[in-house]
Structure 1
Amino acid sequence: MAFLRKLFATVAAPWRAFRAKSPLASFIIGRVITMIAILFMLGWALFALMALAPGDIVDQMMTQQLLNQTSTSQSMNAASTTGDNNFSQEQMAKLREELGLDKPFTLQYFSWLNRVLIHHDLGISLISRTSVGFLIKSRIINSLILNIISLIFITIFSFLLGVYFSSKAGTKIDVAATFFALFFHAFPGILLLILFQLFASATSLFPVKGYPDFPFSSAPAQFAFSYAHHIFLPLLASFLGGIGSIMRMIRSTMLDQMGMPYITALRARGISERRVYLNHAFRNTLNPYITGSANLLASLFSGSLLLEIIFAYPGIGRLMYEAVMQQDVNLVLANSMFMSVLVLAGMVISDILLAIVDPRIRYK
């Protein structure tokens, strides 16, 4: 016990000195270490959940194989049927051994960690027998483009409309904007996507699919216009579902700031209303937005699952859905880790941005 105390004191002393000298850097390092620990526990929990789920991927593969087989005879004797079942059980046991599914989930997890950290290999998809890294790379770009475009539009219009309607508080246009923001925020996203797809099918103004049928390399310029045409309705649904809450937050924060004593003092000094709004009150609205935006990109990725399924968009959300339905452990774990890294990295980045935007915040 004394040895452990001495070891802890030896390690803690340089860390305290470094923390006193560079509080922000020590905070970032601490958060990164915490993020790694959380990812480790999350991966273990995911393996445990997949192990607790009824059946496994081998059961699904054998069931699918049996469904695809055509019967060569209308009647089968009992002896041959029993033999087939025994042979199937042997096949399933052998396949589980080849895939490593016969081991406890903890050993499977550490084997996966060893492969990822040492060999930088995410493994092979148990269904398609394709590299998991290749599958994720082929889908992640599509999801990043869609969600980053959505994030940019939501952020810009939320701030513009939030600041504008805060200056029109209590007017008819402000009441109407608040009503529509609440309406689209509460409106079920899946129903909105289905309605948009029905609209596209009935009018033929927009494609019912969210992605062009030809690759970017074949005709880049044509692909860009076709892509914009295909994602307009999915992007509009994502925009309407996300702008309401952020716009209301910006509006309410601006109204709170406009009632502060420092705003009254600025007005008493004869500073123009535009400068009061944009140079002073607006800057203080960034703090709650940065805090709330830590999970915004990750929530867009998780929310795009329904969008990608309904509009047949080849993104990471649809890949995750297919992997979960087929119990593809390697693919599920890689996708889940990606989402977790987005959430945790977003929190660290938001803390750093808060320290940059607000000089009153210091990490000691």
Structure 2
Amino acid sequence: MWKTVVRRILVMIPQLFVLSLIIFFLAQKMPGDPFSGLITPETDPSRIEELREQAGLNDPLPMQYVNWIKDVAQGDFGKSYTYKRSVSSLIGERAYNTFLLSLFSVILVYALAIPLGVIAGRYKDTFVDKTVVLYSFISYAIPTFVLSLIFLYVFGYQLSWFPTSGTVDVGIEEGTLSYYWNRIHHMLLPAITYAVLGTTGIIQYLRSEVIDAQTQDYVKTARSKGVPMRKVYTRHIFRNSLLPIAAFLGFTITGLLGGSIFIETIFGYPGMGQLFVNSVLTRDYSVITTLVMLFGFLTLLGSLLSDIIMSIVDPRIRID
């Protein structure tokens, strides 16, 4: 298996190279540049041109790409024109915020989806099953930005149960118990929103697997031996039904750094998703190219991790 893993990693190199070409030249074709927003009736055009020359924006595109690749190979992702700081430190700070929010959200998703999926499958066609299916259909049909705005308006502004932006209140000392609770309080509303929207696929997959597993021979054999139904579900049906969920686990792990553009932007949460939107609006090329490259790498890595996890969970599966 490890030879296959190494081979897959080596294949990722040309894939990332092609992705870098596409990202870089598409970013350069965006209208305007990072200094376009500085132009006012009082601005000296020569100063703007000087800034573009210093940033290398007047060089031929192939030369700009080569210089960019050289810097990236050395761990230098450039400087953000908007935030006036290195891209590495900026993304590192936002990645930490996004990771905490995503991890909290994923925990809520699985804590909600797994029991609902198992219960719906076990009690098929009952009132409980129909209620769970109705919930999953409604959550699937509601767009992310619509539910986010509803929750923000109701629970943030009307009821004032949760903060409406940021990661922590001003003036709270870092490292204290109140600081950590305040961070969790800021993450609760966007995490709950993400969890409500993210349970649909898991519930449907798990429900279908539980229903199918009830007709399998190993379940009939266990029941014929007098094994209690509770143990049949916990030791046989539930464990085998989790295999499709494990297939998505690799993407879930790598997706912890991807963030959600809609949720982070609407809830004013300073994470990777919000940073990407702001960078596009301000034509911050260094941040845009680095983020998209990072998202592409995480997607490829997630595919590899999913295959590895599946081969570990189910010994019958081997990645070739």
Q: Given the two structures, how large is their TM-score scaled by the length of structure 1? A: 0.81
Equivalent position of 1:319 in the other structure: 275
* 1:1-364 mapped onto 2 (5 Å cutoff): 24-62=1-39, 66=40, 69=42, 88=45, 90-117=46-73, 119-199=74-154, 200-214=156-170, 217-218=173-174, 220-297=176-253, 304-364=260-320
Residue deviations 1:202-228 (CA, integer Å, cap 9, x gap):
122222224222377535211122222
Deviation at 1:358, TM superposition (A): 0.7
Q: Could you tell me how far apart the structure 1 residues matched to 2:98 and 2:295 are? A: 12
SS of the residue corresponding to residue 57 of structure 1 reads: coil
Assess, with a 3 A threshold, how the Cα gap between structure 1 residues 303 and 131 changes in structure 2: closer, same or farther. closer
Q: Output the CA distance in 2 between the equivalents of 1:303 and 1:132.
A: 17
**Is the contact made by 2:223 and 2:232 (CA closer than 8 Å) also made in structure 1?**
yes
Unaligned runs of 5+ in 2: none
Change (3 A) 1:315 1:157: same
Equivalent residues of 1:267, 1:276 under 8 A apart: yes
Moved more, 186-195 or 30-39: 30-39
Q: Which runs of 4+ in 1 moved over 6 A?
A: none
Q: Deviations over 1:117-150 (max 9, x none)?
A: 1x32111112233111111112111110000111
Q: Measure the CA separation in 2 of the matches of 1:301 and 1:180.
A: 28
The Cα shift of 1:59 comes to 2.5
More helix by share: 1
Contact 2:148 2:263 in 1 (8 A): yes
The C-alpha deviation readout for 1:185-238, integer Å capped at 9, x for no partner, is 211111111111111211222222242223775352111222222222111111
For residues 259 and 139 of structure 2, what CA distance do their matches in structure 1 show? Answer: 15
Give the unaligned 5+ runs of structure 1.
Answer: 1-23, 70-83
Q: Distance in 1 between matches of 2:64 and 2:23?
A: 11
Deviation of 1:274 after TM superposition, in Å, equals 2.3
Identity of paired residues, percent? 30
Q: CA–CA distance in 2 between the matches of 1:351 and 1:191?
A: 34
Decide whether the 8 Å contact of 1:210 with 1:231 is kept in 2.
no
For residue 283 of structure 1, what is the amino acid of its counterpart? R
Deviations 1:52-76 (A, max 9, x none): 22222232332xxx16x5xxxxxxx
Using the alignment, how far apart are the partners of 1:275 and 1:180 within structure 2? Answer: 28
What corresponds to 1:15 in structure 2?
A: none
What SS does structure 2 have at the residue aligned with 1:27? helix
The one-letter amino acid paired with 1:143 is T
Residues in 2 aligned to 1:115 and 1:197: alpha-carbon distance in whole angstroms: 41
Cα distance between partner residues in 2 of 1:151 and 1:40: 31
The structural deviation recorded for 1:267 is: 1.9
Output the amino acid matched with 2:151. F
Equivalent residues of 1:301, 1:317 under 8 A apart? no
TM-score (norm 2): 0.92
Structure 1 CA distance for aligned equivalents of residues 10 and 193 of structure 2 = 37
Change (3 A) 1:297 1:188: farther
RMSD: 2.1
Instruction: Give the superposition deviation at 1:297.
Output: 4.8
* 2:116 partner letter: L
Offset of residue 46 of structure 1 = 0.7
Structure exhibiting the larger radius of gyration computed from Cα positions: 1
Cα deviation, residue 300, structure 1 = 6.3
Letter in 1 for 2:160: S
